[in-house]
A = this chain, B = another copy of it.
Amino acid sequence: MATDTVDNKKNIFDRLIGPPLETAAAPHQSIGKVPALAVFASDALSSVAYATEEILVILAMAGSMYFGLSIPIAISIAVLLVILTISYRQTIFAYPSGGGAYIVARDNLGELAALTAGSALMTDYILTVAVSISSGVAQIVSAFPALSHVKIEIALALIMVMTIINLRGVKESSTAFAIPTYFFLGTAFLMLGTGLWRWATGDLGIVTGVDVAQNLTQSITVFLILRAFSSGCTALTGVEAISNGISAFKEPKAKNAAATMTAMSAILMTMFIGITLLAHQVQAMPSETETVISQIARTVFGSGTMYIVMVVATTTILIMAANTSFADFPRLAALQAADGFLPRQLTYRGSRLVFSWGIVGLAALASLLVVIFNASVSALIPLYAVGVFLSFTISQAGMVVRWHKVSKLKEGEEIESRGSTLVYDKQWRWRQAINIVGATATAIVTVIFAVTKFSQGAWFILLLIPTLIWAFFGTHRHYQRVANQLSLGELDIKPHNSPLQTILLVDNVHAGTLRLVNFARSLGNPWKAVHVAVDPERTAELLKKWNERIGFGELVLLESPYRSITEPLRDYIHQLQDENPDAFIHLLAGQLAMPSFWEQALHRNTNLLIDLVLRDMDRVVVTSVPYQIGLRDEYARRLTLEGTTLKEEALETETDATETETSE
A548 at the A/B interface (Cβ < 8 Å)? yes
Q: CB distance A522 to B500 under 8 Å?
A: yes
With the chains together, A491 CA to B656 CA distance in Å? 9
Nearest residue (CB) in B for A631 is: B618
- A484-505 to B contact mask, C-beta < 8 Å, 1/0: 1111111111111111100000
Instruction: Known A344-B604, A478-B599; judge A518-B498 contact (CB<8 A).
Output: yes
A410 at the A/B interface (Cβ < 8 Å)? no
Residues of B within 8 A of A483 (CB): 658-661
Q: CB distance B1 to A479 under 8 Å?
A: no
Residues of B within 8 A of A624 (CB): 611, 621-623
Nearest residue (CB) in B for A662 is: B483
Instruction: Known A483-B659, A593-B616, A628-B618; judge A584-B649 contact (CB<8 A).
Output: no
Q: CB distance A343 to B482 under 8 Å?
A: no
With the chains together, A622 CA to B2 CA distance in Å? 15
Q: CB distance B659 to A562 under 8 Å?
A: no
Q: CB distance B625 to A621 under 8 Å?
A: yes
- A567-608 to B contact mask, C-beta < 8 Å, 1/0: 000100010011001101010000111110001011110000
A550 at the A/B interface (Cβ < 8 Å)? yes
- Closest chain-B Cβ to A242's Cβ sits at a distance in Å of 28
Q: CB distance B500 to A486 under 8 Å?
A: no
With the chains together, A484 CA to B343 CA distance in Å? 46
- Closest chain-B Cβ to A153's Cβ sits at a distance in Å of 14
Q: CB distance B493 to A351 under 8 Å?
A: no
Nearest residue (CB) in B for A605 is: B345
Residues of B within 8 A of A478 (CB): 599, 602
Residues of B within 8 A of A484 (CB): 655, 658
Q: Number of A interface residues, CB 8 Å? A: 118
- Closest chain-B Cβ to A413's Cβ sits at a distance in Å of 32
A203 at the A/B interface (Cβ < 8 Å)? no
Q: CB distance A623 to B623 under 8 Å?
A: yes
With the chains together, A574 CA to B650 CA distance in Å? 11
A222 at the A/B interface (Cβ < 8 Å)? no
Residues of B within 8 A of A28 (CB): none
A564 at the A/B interface (Cβ < 8 Å)? yes
A33 at the A/B interface (Cβ < 8 Å)? no
Residues of B within 8 A of A24 (CB): 561
Give me 30 A-to-B residue pairs in the complex whose CB atoms sit less than 8 angstroms apart, sorted by A's number. Answer: A2-B614, A20-B562, A344-B602, A344-B664, A349-B563, A350-B563, A475-B602, A482-B603, A482-B664, A483-B661, A486-B511, A486-B512, A486-B661, A487-B661, A488-B549, A488-B654, A493-B654, A495-B521, A496-B521, A498-B522, A500-B522, A519-B586, A523-B523, A524-B525, A577-B648, A578-B647, A593-B615, A595-B616, A619-B650, A623-B624
**Seed contacts A23-B534, A581-B650; 20 additional CB < 8 Å A-B pairs:** A1-B616, A2-B615, A2-B616, A23-B562, A350-B563, A483-B660, A485-B630, A487-B510, A487-B655, A491-B657, A495-B514, A495-B521, A497-B524, A500-B524, A574-B648, A593-B615, A593-B616, A617-B649, A618-B631, A622-B624
